[in-house]
Amino acid sequence: MRILDRYIGQAVQTAVLAVLGVMLSLFLLVNFINEIEKVGRADYTVWHAVAYVLLWLPKLAYLAFPLVALLGTLLGLGMLANHGELVVLRAAGISKLRVALSVTKAMLALIVIAFIVGEVIAPPAEQYAEQMRLRALSSKVSFNQQFGLWVRDENTYIHVQSVDANDRLLGIDLYLFNAKRELQRRIQAKSGVFDGTQWQLQDVTETVINEAGVRVLHHATLPWQTVLDTELVGTVSYNPDSLSIWDQAAYIDYLKSNGLDSRIHELALWNKIVAPFTIMAMLLLAVPLAFGSRRQASTGKHIVIGFAIGLVFYITNRLTGQMGVVYDVPPFFAASIPTLLVLAFALWMYRRLH
């Protein structure tokens, strides 16, 4: 059986890596074309665009890996089927489940590597890419996930601790200086929302410093005009998918401790936890599809089948996720539904071909 595992594994791994290479090449081309449009703005150069798209590759590889695994397995087993080798295996008494086990064994190492890339390499690479682009496009802005957002607006220095998925500012500090560089006011706000024309700060503490002394004022809301617009905020906002599992869990605790909505981030966390099982479900599904197509199936047919399943999975995943947030469905259940549907479809295919 070791020979069987090695033979099937080599065919599947080769096909998976080939599909991954093709898809990443397409991602590189499309993203680079999008970034070229920004070249020439402020200090943004071609080298910034190249670095940006390369730094995004780990994230894209991880997101695409379930589809890559499905397509690669379909193509690898499809080549064996086209040469009649799957028929020989079946004639030798080797079941489809045994072939699925060989495929899973072969893919375990790649699944682990994909998880490491997605949770260890991709988050800091994506964050650095966004910081680099932001610095090149705007010299007045500094941002990182650890220290938050810093913006200079003439004589005002603005610090925002974080930005949630709805572009709401959290943990705002404003430092207002006079022409002599003397601090005159400090404004602290728990949050800030954009009302269409300006920002509205909420739960505000204002400290006024002048020759008469120091006064502390409290405001339920306070209007705020600034160069910080919603487009810039959207650029630096916390994308739930951009955090690692560990950072995601810590950020959820932060949101809950401050009485803020954490459902989107909880869904993103469970999507990351479920991701390896999604890949394995795709592998299980690929085996009966390859057996069912028999020898007459072309490579093009396998690609079409794989992309169709991937598209349905993506739509279902987005739909159940959004419905889960809107209707307050437990995040674990909302994140697991698409994978469970793939697994159920795979089991139905096994029974149908038995």
Q: Residue 311: how many CB atoms within 10 A of its CB?
A: 11
Q: Looking at residue 258, what DSSP letter applies?
A: T
Lowest-confidence region among 40-49, 163-172, 231-240: 231-240
Identify the DSSP state of 242.
G
> Can you tell me the distance from the alpha carbon of 93 to that of 249, in angstroms, rounded to the nearest whole number?
47
**268-310 pLDDT per residue, tens:** 999 999 999 999 999 999 888 887 655 555 667 778 888 899 9
69-106 pLDDT tens trace = 999 999 998 888 777 777 777 777 787 788 888 898 98
Alpha helices by DSSP H, listed for the chain, are 2-36, 46-82, 85-91, 96-116, 122-137, 230-236, 245-257, 263-293, 299-326, 331-353
Give the pLDDT band (50/70/90) at residue 141.
low
Collect contacts of 33-40 with beta carbons under 8 A, ≥24 apart. Answer: 38/133, 38/137
Closest CA to 279 of 86, 117, 127: 117
d(CA 117, CA 296): 37
Residue 35 confidence (pLDDT)? 92
CA distance 50 to 141: 21
Tens digits of residue pLDDT in 7-28: 888 999 999 999 999 999 999 9
Domain coordinates of the chain in residue numbers?
2-138+246-353, 146-237
- The residues, any chain, with a CB within 8 Å of residue 113's CB and separated by 6 or more, are none
Quote the pTM value: 0.76
With a cut of 90, say whether residue 341 has pLDDT above it. Answer: yes
Q: How far apart are CA 130 and CA 152, in angstroms?
A: 19
pLDDT band, very low/low/confident/very high, at 232 (cuts 50, 70, 90): low
Structure tokens at 107: 């893919």
* Edge-to-edge strand ranges of the sheet holding 213-224: 141-144, 148-153, 156-163, 169-177, 183-194, 199-210, 213-224
